[in-house]
Chains A and B, each alone.
Chain A
Amino acid sequence: QVQLVQSGAEVKKPGASVKVSCKASGYTFTGYYMHWVRQAPGQGLEWMGWINPNSGDTNYAQKFQGRVTMTRDTSISTAYMELSRLRSDDTAVYYCARGAVVEPAAIEPLDYWGQGTLVTVSS
């Protein structure tokens, strides 16, 4: 069965960086886009971007351009999301979620989600 297992909670100081991991199992990791979505406490869902695990190509939401980096390690079927220059309003639960198949090109929703990683930014 498809599973996305994320790394544990993090506490960071303002200005620092955080790197969250998402280990995939139960499907071909390089065959599907991986998206990242965050949710601030009591707030809605915010799409951050995606990575094509096959090519490494990325697409980031404009809001996060210059601060977010999505990478992957295909040898261990793991995607990463690194957010830099953290601010207090980056405190949120960060989710990875599986998107569309890479080939053939398709338009598909986010069908499997990780359990979420709480990132707290506090001095």
Chain B
Amino acid sequence: DIQMTQSPSTLSASAGDRVTITCRASQSISSWLAWYQQKPGKAPKLLIYKASSLESGVPSRFSGSGSGTEFTLTISSLQPDDFATYYCQQYNSYSQAFGQGTKVEIK
């Protein structure tokens, strides 16, 4: 099975900061990588799919890049509503998998 590893596990930042989260796959997944945002007590929300495509309605300050085994999620200017936990997910193989999550907290 393909394993997904995110870093860092926790990230402390201030509003207005540029934030980058990394996700690595244990083998190539081409561009079949999604990013989700989850707030406490809520279901995850799809932000990015196919590594760099922005889901409809998601603010343009979110962007994704990468292919193969290395991927990044960038928030260009962190807003108060962005403090949450972010997960990457590979959806290429018959068996899907999530990263362990990155919590973005207020510095």
Contacts and interface: CB of A to CB of B under 8 A. Distances in A.
Interface stretch (B18-26, B66-74, B75-83, B98-106): B98-106
A59 interface: yes
Interface residues of A, number: 22
A113 B49 contact: no
B38 to A, nearest CB: 8
Interface stretch (A13-21, A42-50, A66-74, A76-84): A42-50
B91 A109 contact: yes
Max chain B Cβ within 10 angstroms of own Cβ: one of A45, A59, A109: A109
Nearest to A95: B43
A105 interface: no
Nearest to A45: B98
Nearest to A112: B46
Given A45-B101, A62-B1, A115-B43, A110 B95 contact: no
Contact of A113 (B44, B97, B98, B100): B44
A100 to B, nearest CB: 8
A113 B101 contact: no
Interface of A: 35, 37, 44-47, 59, 61-62, 95, 97, 99-100, 107-111, 113-116
Given A45-B98, A97-B43, A109-B46, 15 more contacts: A35-B96, A45-B44, A45-B101, A47-B96, A47-B98, A59-B95, A62-B95, A95-B43, A95-B44, A97-B44, A100-B91, A110-B44, A110-B46, A110-B91, A113-B43
